[in-house]
Structure 1
Amino acid sequence: MSIDGAAADDMTYVQKACAYITRGERELLAFEGPGHDGLQIPKGTIEAGETPREAVFREVAEESGLGALADTRHLATDVWRRRPARRYVRHFFHATVHDPRDRWTHTVTGSGEEVGAEFEFSWVDLPADEEFALALDDYVHLL
């Protein structure tokens, strides 16, 4: 039995791809999404047969509508706990984009549970003053 009450063999590990997308030197793309308090970044579950890098491109397109990312590089991978028997293996990437919009709403595409949800995107000045939902700001300092 582990410290948090879940047996090691009962543990579920979910692979996630997370995208820090910047515009210029000091702006980070973020959105307010339903179901979570605080800002988020594009992220999602890595599908079977998909690499974390492939997943980050797919998730960004599905959640934000952005399709042209530049200079995409891996920043960090961690294991994050949200529930006792579930761990999230989070792969964080940094990419840059040249998009003139300051704000937009995108309806999520793809096949996940968020399909049809509307996310309100805007740029947050770095360093970000407020905390992000789900500890998604853990590696902002690496930008």
Structure 2
Amino acid sequence: MTDATYVQKACAYITRRPGELLVFEGPGHDGLQIPKGTLEPGESPREALFREVREESGLGTLSDTRHLTTDVWTRRAGRRYVRHFFHATVYEPRDRWTHTVSDGGAEHGAMFSFRWVRPTTAQPFALELDAYVDLLPTVSRTDEVSSASD
């Protein structure tokens, strides 16, 4: 049996109003995603959170940022992800926007189309990223999808 590789990830549940969660549909995965990414050497999960949100969405200011939970998620045998989930709020008047990653890293040039949804949407999230939406304030699994965010 081989030793597993553990990859540290920071994952961001960003809300702008109670019940509105920032998501995107990006390349490489089916389903909704949230801003997330791998920690760089020497970087804390909180530092990675702010960096990844800025790189993937263009958002630079987050408020009320707090750690929700950490789990270990296995996507394939021998590779485990230590996922640090955070919740933050943001003031963002745009309902939808596209951001092109320009950090020079592996996702350089990738375009992400962002929008706000109710986290209880029937559409599944990629990579089980919706596992902890119940920990967000004012979220109930019985909420309906907001027609304004479709």
TM-score (norm 1): 0.92
What amino acid does structure 1 have at the position aligned with 2:112? F
Counterpart position of 2:127: 134
RMSD between aligned residues: 0.9
> CA deviation digits over 1:57-102, x for unaligned, max 9?
0000000000010000000100000110100000000000000000
Counterparts of 2:78 and 2:105, CA distance in 1:
22
Residue 33 of structure 1 and its aligned partner are, at CA, apart by 0.1
Contact 2:12 2:34 in 1 (8 A): yes
Counterparts of 1:130 and 1:15, CA distance in 2:
26
Counterpart position of 2:42: 49
> Are 2:54 and 1:66 aligned?
no
**What runs of 5+ residues in structure 1 fail to find an aligned partner?**
2-6
Residue 26 of structure 1 and its aligned partner are, at CA, apart by 1.1
Secondary structure at 1:39 match in 2? coil
Counterpart position of 1:4: none
What amino acid does structure 2 have at the position aligned with 1:133? A
Residue 115 of structure 1 and its aligned partner are, at CA, apart by 1.3
Contact 2:25 2:112 in 1 (8 A): yes
What fraction of aligned residue pairs are identical, expressed as a percent? 73
Please identify runs of 4+ aligned residues in structure 1 that moved more than 6 A: none
Counterpart position of 2:107: 114
Counterpart position of 1:100: 93
| 1:93 to 1:130, Cα distance in 2 relative to 1, 3 A | same
Residue 18 of structure 1 and its aligned partner are, at CA, apart by 0.2
TM-score (norm 2): 0.88
